[in-house]
Amino acid sequence: MLSYDEYQSKAAGLSFRNQCWIDGAFVPAVSGETFAAINPATGKKLTDVARGSAADIDRAVASARAAFEDGRWSRKTPGERKEVLLRLAQLIRDNLTELALLDTLDMGKPISETVNVDVPGSAMFFQWHAEAVDKLYDEIAPTGGRDVAMVRRMPLGVVGAVVPWNFPLDMATWKLAPALATGNSVVLKPAEQSPLSALFLAELAKEAGLPDGVLNVVPGFGEDAGQALGRHPDVDCLVFTGSTAVGKLFQRYAGESNMKQVWLETGGKSPNLIFADADLDKAADMAAFGIFFNQGEVCSANSRLLVQKDIAEVFIAKLKTRAEAIKQGDPLDPETTMGAMVDAQHATRVASYLAVGKEDARLVTGGNRITIGSSDAFVQPTIFADVPAHSRIVREEIFGPVLAVQTFDTDEDALALANDTEFGLAASIWTADLSRAMDLSDRLNVGTVSVNTVDALSPMTPFGGVKQSGFGRDLSIHSFDKYTALKTIWVKY
Ligand code: NAP
Ligand code: MG
């Protein structure tokens, strides 16, 4: 890590890529319009970004389609695509500080996290998918006789990707790495709050050898650029990470247009179950991380804590100590452990839940929106106990540093509470009893169960949800399923 002074001076010297990236070059929006990229930790403008809309999406899709059809990338061998994406992984590492600064400035998360988690993660995910793609074998069906029936994985064509702002570089990477590795062309629409790292990434991809047109990035607003991509007749597949409400819109866009495939990674309200036989100090460390990491702006945040009654007060006291040790401040300061909410509007939304919590439950710590420096986009790490099952703070995704604590007696009570939600992304269980952990893991309606840890995640394991947390999986070999269609080629001889 560099020092606070060094990050400040590097941030002051940055030049931002702020136009649409189409066909291998930066171009202004057709309309000439722009929108402001704001640093939420200061409230100050970073740059004006091209505001792409339907006309720009049309150009980007045409470029992606042309690239796909002439085979400049789609008909390269997996080994050739691997080489390019491995170079991109290396370029991400070579430009670590700049990429980290872009996400930290654009959405307010601590520099220690973009430097140590987000940017190395992006390089690792590109590397992993690149290395995997030339180890995937096609199949021959067991027809017997004078027949050979091949089952081949084919790229889909043009993939539209619409991603959120909470891990700007990583959420883009989770879609781009498997989509590009398998030979597709992509049009990416980053969140309006965080377009800067994706635009720099596109330039790095060209430097790595990705042919023009294969990756296009159109910054803009969801209602116009995002919707235009979702409704585009020449997009074969739309992959989305974001809120459940917007995910449902993409299903509608597809149904009302060309029935493109839609894969959704959406919201969560993930439970963390703490049993009396757990290592309570370790559990408290990780429960605090599970809700407060990234300002709580994590889809799989452990935002509901379910704790066994006999240890509830002891455990809440441990959590309170940890919440109060969090250092909020300027995200460019390497000592900061919690930054700003992504923007003032989101801070207002999170603060509205603080008011609900104070009405419905017992405030243990935090509970306020605060001003640091020139920005009021900060929210204190907050814990509410005695939260009734009907309260909106335990039912709705807050997407901020707000923990709702409930208690239970038996395993069955814990399971019933845990599954009593419209979401199904992740869950955690803390216990020394392996049979209990396995039994509950089987019965929790979620995509990932972490036992004696939280948010277990790696490029080797699939990530995604059930219920209204979405469907389809990012990461792992299984992520390739979203970006390829099986084709049967049957030969008689
Ligand atoms: P969001 O409002 O749903 O936005 C996500 C993306 O969709 C953005 O690019 C957004 O553009 C676009 N969008 C918004 N309205 C649209 C519309 N009417 N038509 C087409 N596109 C539209 O979500 P967010 O606030 O950025 O991110 C937070 C959400 O993401 C949370 O619910 C969180 O759980 C979820 N998330 C899920 C996962 C997962 O893997 N399951 C991971 C991370 C985050 P604008 O930027 O212009 O709004
Ligand atoms: Mg948004």
Class of domain 271-460: alpha beta
219 and 227 in contact (C-beta within 8 Å)?
A: no
Long-range contacts: 71-78, Cβ < 8 Å, 24+? 72/211, 72/213, 72/214, 73/180, 73/183, 73/185, 73/210, 73/211, 73/214, 74/155, 74/183, 74/184, 74/185, 75/183, 76/183, 77/134, 78/133, 78/134, 78/136, 78/181
Ligand 1 centroid to residue 222 C-alpha, Å: 8
Among 109, 188, 229, 246, which is best to mutate for testing ligand 1, by the most ligand atoms less than 8 A from CB?
A: 246
Q: Give the model confidence (pLDDT) of 421-464 as tens digits.
A: 999 999 999 999 999 999 999 999 999 999 999 999 999 999 99
Taking CB atoms and a 6 Å cutoff, what residues make up the pocket around ligand 1?
162-166, 171, 189, 191-193, 221-223, 226-227, 230, 241-243, 246, 249, 265-268, 299, 397, 399, 425, 465, 469-470
Ligand 1 centroid to residue 37 C-alpha, Å: 17
CATH superfamily, with its number, for domain 4-266: Aldehyde Dehydrogenase; Chain A, domain 1 (3.40.605.10)
> Confidence band (pLDDT; 50, 70, 90) for 274?
very high
Q: Are strands 215-217 and 185-189 parallel, antiparallel or unpaired?
A: parallel
Q: Which of 20, 192, 237, 265 is an active site residue?
A: 265
Residues forming CATH 3.40.309.10 domain(s) in the chain:
271-460
Q: Give the model confidence (pLDDT) of 63-111 as tens digits.
A: 999 999 999 999 999 999 999 999 999 999 999 999 999 999 999 999 9
Residues forming CATH 3.40.605.10 domain(s) in the chain:
4-266
- Rounded to an integer, the average pLDDT of 26-33 is 98
What pLDDT sits at residue 446? 98
Q: Give the model confidence (pLDDT) of 227-247 as tens digits.
A: 999 999 999 999 999 999 999
What pLDDT sits at residue 166? 98
Q: What percent of the chain has pLDDT over 90?
A: 100
